[in-house]
Amino acid sequence: MTKRETAETETRNDLAKSVENLLDDIHDESLDRSRDGSETVSRTTARFASLLVILSRQAEKESKKIHKLTIAVFWLTIVIAILTALMCWQQFNL
């Protein structure tokens, strides 16, 4: 396997993991004393980057949900304002 293929495989594997599993991997990488220190740091950083991507994707999903809810609240407010205006108009025109 080439270096690029290995990186792509590692990325796919990391992005398929849960946040908790990836965090375990980050700690596991950082505690590995069998490798050179710079390799340990670079592998830990790569796992951390994967964690950031996963969290970013989750935040984007939640942001889209909040945006939809905000639009729904806006339209409900408009409907309530119209109904209130109609009720006031009926009350004072009787």
DSSP structure string for 68-85:
HHHHHHHHHHHHHHHHHH
For the chain, the structural domain boundaries read: 3-92
Cβ atoms of 54 and 22 closer than 8 Å: yes
Tens of pLDDT, residues 29-83: 889 888 888 888 999 999 999 999 999 999 999 999 999 999 999 999 999 999 9
Q: In the prediction, which pLDDT does 33 show?
A: 86
And the tokens for 77? 């407010």
